[in-house]
Amino acid sequence: MQKWNFKPTIYIGKDAFSVLEQLIKQRVFIICDPFLLNTPIFTDVVKRIENCNNVVELYADVSPDPPIEDIVKGVEAINIFKPDVLIAMGGGSAIDLAKGIKYFSERASQQIFSQFIAIPTTSGTGSEVTNISVITDKTNNIKYPLVHNSLTPDVAILNVELVMSAPDTVVSYSGLDVLTHALEALVATNSNSITDALSEKAIGLVFTHLVNSYKNKDYNSREKMHEASTIAGIAFNEAGLGINHAIAHQLGGQFHLVHGLANAILLPHVVTFNAKNKKAQEKYAEVARKIGVSDHYDDDEVAVVHLVNAIQKLMDQLNCATSLSANGVKAADAEQVIDLVAENALRDITTHTNPVAVTKDDIANVYRKIY
């Protein structure tokens, strides 16, 4: 038996910030990316909250791939301010940091939050709708996925205005992150008809809108990619992910690669590997036909090849380097940590729902393909 609790409540549109005006006489702790401070759109958010007799504390000590030390500092700040409402506004790192702070402050000091609100400023992680936070151990260069239902926000606010000025690399890497989420969820062992529908929709949106969003900063395409990120997030939160993310977590920890880039480099190779599973192959083939990269008369094996080629073509259109060496990682350095990467990826929670049961050697072989 599967149970699905539809959370969070999602508000979409340019007027979605009006939801914040429902916060009245609350102590509100806002965790945000530092570059948002003093921007007009962030100032508007804060004003809306302050105008309703709320007390607001801003916390912008956010760094990429939030380390354990940052969570400790955030918990200390929460203990001093004692908020009622927690708001995370920013990219995946800001939301992951907020989740980590929430999780540990609830356990360390019994902090109670009446609401947890997530406002993503990138279109990639889907963190605004998931129960996952990725925390970095900088001492050992390892990323750990923290998974707990209390990490799922109560409210997610999607406003395309927040992503219109996103840099090109953020648009491309985060968009490829969406594609990875959707393709992994599509074939994950916990997938079902509902998650399949969401995954297929997200994949279609990526292939239709990502290049236009990247090259032309098209408003409609940016909006569709923002929605696709959330759709894929809902799908993988229920269906699970796979070794693409398990290995990507290690690439981020070892070589500090941006998460979406790490996922993209691995994606063609992981799709090829997972297509050894007959059911996964059928699903890949079906979605390849649905998005028009394979003809309906192609057999499944050929359709998967077309899908992999389409992913590689998409990466080329987004000027995304397709190997570790192209991103400044020497083959000798990559080989030196292969055992550590394979061992940690094998233990990663996302590996548990990969459609093909893998060994350490399997992971090492996939990893070697991206040198």
Boundary-marking domain end, from 105, 129, 163: 163
pLDDT of the residue at 140? 83
- For residues 39 and 147, membership in a common domain is answered with yes
Asked whether residue 38 falls in the same domain as residue 92, the answer is yes
Do 229 and 140 have their domain in common?
no
- 44 and 154 co-located in one domain: yes
Does residue 336 form part of some domain?
yes
Q: What is the CATH number of the domain that holds 332?
A: 1.20.1090.10
The band of 8, judged by pLDDT with boundaries at 50, 70 and 90, is: very high
Quick one: 13 and 154 in the same domain?
yes
Residue 2 lies inside a defined structural domain of this protein: no
Average pLDDT over residues 75-88: 97
- 51 pLDDT more than 80: yes
Shared domain for 158 and 173, answered yes or no, is no
Based on the domain organization, do 230 and 269 belong to the same domain? Answer: yes
pLDDT over threshold 90, residue 139: no
pLDDT in tens, 310-330: 999 999 999 999 999 999 999
Residue 227: inside a domain: yes
Q: Would residue 221 count as lying in a domain?
A: yes
pLDDT at 1 exceeding the cut of 80: no
Question: Which of 126, 146, 163 delimits the end of a domain?
Answer: 163
Q: Which of 75-79, 132-136, 283-287 has the lowest mean pLDDT?
A: 132-136
pLDDT score at 2: 72
Residue 149 is predicted with a pLDDT of 93
Give the up-direction half-sphere exposure of residue 112: CA atoms within 13 A in the CB hemisphere.
1
Q: The domain that contains 17 carries what CATH number?
A: 3.40.50.1970
Q: What is the pLDDT of residues 145-159, one digit of tens each?
A: 889 999 999 999 999
User: Binning pLDDT at 50, 70 and 90, where does residue 65 land?
Assistant: confident
Spatial separation of the C-alpha atoms in residues 219 and 237, rounded to whole Å = 27
Confidence of residue 237 (pLDDT cuts 50, 70, 90): very high
Q: Which amino acid is at 331?
A: A
Residue 337 lies in a domain: yes
Mean predicted lDDT score pLDDT of the chain: 96
Could you give the 3-state DSSP secondary structure of residue 39?
A: coil
The 10s digit of each residue's pLDDT in 184-210 is 999 999 999 999 999 999 999 999 999
State the pLDDT at residue 202.
98
Q: What is the tally of structural domains in the chain?
A: 2
pLDDT tens sequence across 21-36 = 999 999 999 999 999 9
> 156 and 193 share a domain?
no
Amino acid in position 133 = S
Question: Average pLDDT of 2-18?
Answer: 88
Gyration radius of the chain's alpha carbons? 20
Closest C-alpha among 105, 108, 129, 352 to residue 245: 352
| Residue 32 lies inside a defined structural domain of this protein | yes
Q: At what angle do helices 360-368 and 259-274 cross, to 10 degrees?
A: 120
* Domain of residue 340, residue span: 168-368
Q: Where are the beta strands (DSSP E) in 60-131?
A: 85-90, 115-120
pTM: 0.95
Mean per-residue pLDDT, 327-354: 95
Shared domain check, 127 and 75: yes
Q: Tens of pLDDT along 216-232? A: 999 999 999 999 999 99
